[in-house]
Structure 1
Amino acid sequence: MKKNKILLTSLAATFLILGGSLVSCGDNNNGGEVPGGGNPQDPVKEITSLTIRPEYKHVDMAVGDYIFVDQELYEILPSGLPAKQRRVEVTILEGEDVVSYEDQLLTAIGAGEATIEVSSEVKPELKDTFTVSAVNPVFDRNMSTTSFFDMTYETDPENPRVTSPDESTGDLIFANVSGTKWYAESTIKPISVASTEYYPKFGITSNSLGTDADTANSSFYYFLNAYIGEGDTPNYNWTDVGFCEVRGAEGWAWNPGITNGDARHNDGFYQNPEPLTLNDSFKMGMARDGIRYYFWFNDTYIGCFDIMQDLIPADVPSAPGLFEFNSNVEFSKYSATADEAVVDEKIASIGEDIKLITTVADD
């Protein structure tokens, strides 16, 4: 059963401009008659078959994603048909609460199964069907910068993963997980880093859901500090694990003009025993309980930190997520929960030595 790549780019970017005409392959096809100016007495070509391409007989989607129902999905024969012979009707036979269809776009609107029929307008007896399985997404499409990520295997039952092949900066915020107490984890594999990025970082974030001016957009980041440097001998052996507070949208603690009264950071409160480099996988976990954040690295508990009271206050909810800086990263085996009993059990497993971190950078 093939996983089909889900399109997350803008609609305008998906069309081809050929000879000044906007070309599509569905109901509003603007392709002209058969080129070449043949004998007017020759019979007009007529459609003889319409079939769904084998790789699209079953499509897996996450709620909120969409695909195009066009001639990439189905095949019409013979080739070179006039526009009228290529027009199709799309009908949702089952699952109108699972998918919707409009202007060649089939959108997953709810979890479940659906059956869709594609038939010829001129010969309705020529038709074929395909099925859709839609699941609730792992990552929120509105809060995440999903345009930077390949979400094809986000919900794959055997090996769920998300990659960012264009060495981008972005966040993946977990869907339907938020509150003042939660736990999130993921396996992370950095594959490459943009040539202009000397301080890449990847890890877990807490994104404020506060709505007032003091808490909106504030966040907290826990990361592997993959410092490369700007010299002639770049560093690709990374051991430092750190954190950074961000006040508002741009008040990163290490930015010029940001004091420790605004936001704080510690880029190396823990050193992993073995250096990590590109294509190495490691696991990070973070729990929130009010203003206190607990950290795990490769399933080893490594410490906790109390963020500033007014950054994301103890009673203001936040959402966990994953992030990267100008990198190609694969995130896999990810999960998040706001079940208080589960989070309490995770925190209780630490024992009495909570390793409270009080040291921050002076800048």
Structure 2
Amino acid sequence: MAAGAAEAAVLEVGSARHFEELLRLRAGSLLVVHFWAPWAPQCAQMNEVMAELAREHAKVGFAKLEAEAVPEVSEKYEVSSVPTFLFFKNSQKVDRLDGAHAPELTKKVARHSAGAALAPGGEHPKEDLTARLRKLTHAAPCMLFMKGTPREPRCGFSKQMVEILNRHNIQFSSFDIFSDQEVRQGLKTFSNWPTYPQLYVSGELIGGLDIVKELEASDELDTICPKAPKLEERLKVLTNRAAVVLFMKGSKQEAKCGFSRQMLEILDGTGVDFETFDVLEDEEVRQGLKVFSNWPTYPQLYVKGELVGGLDIVKELKENGELPSVLRGES
């Protein structure tokens, strides 16, 4: 693999070994990897954006990896939807972008390839960062800024914090401060708190692990943080939210797996109104519904709160001419 070829075009990664070799080869510069799928039209569009960026940034490496064809790499980096873009420096992931957002991809490439985002005067745009941090701290009623993710904490303190919140059935969203160096450093000043994890409730800093442990010991934690509804109750509400509900990967506008896309095409052809729920956006629902429905895969179709089945079942119903009456709840 010639260095010039790597700089001039978007490389195609065909295996986990190839991916590891590419990380080593590009260790001295920025590498941007597009996790894509051939069935997703938005991925084709973003591949064109990548090709244009490759022409503009000769010193940056660009590659595309078919997410479902190299699952070991996708799973390692928690890529569960397409398109997803990962940014690597020195063989380490430094940032990610989920979704087909060409302007944001362009901005991130420019920022990471420059090494730092500097304003014309040579300083970071503090007002923009402050506004961004304010939005992040208000992104959910309970926000945890941590190292790693709830599924894969990357420090002992973050792991303990997640365990406490889960033990108290507290509903929270999280932000991986390793994914954004600007946020990682800026939030320390914004919150006047030098370490991680940091817990925010209603946009206000509660504190770090020691504070949360004290609140737990004094029985105050449950009164401060919002409680998550019991999962079974949630699932009953979700499966009855409309007469026909499709639990899928992605949305009506953007299916994120081939099976979900086929299911959408079948339902669209019936003319029946239906709602969708993106299981990639809620890990608790994604795992819990498998047990609740006793059905291990997605998509799953519900009519009037009752499971119809997955894609194969719906295909059979369509072929037998029974699907319209089933969707109307008549059989």
TM-score normalised by L of structure 2? 0.25
Q: Higher strand fraction: Structure 1 or Structure 2?
A: 1
Higher-Rg structure is: 1
TM-score normalised by L of structure 1? 0.24
Q: Higher helix fraction: Structure 1 or Structure 2?
A: 2
Higher relative contact order (CA 8 A, sep 6+): 1
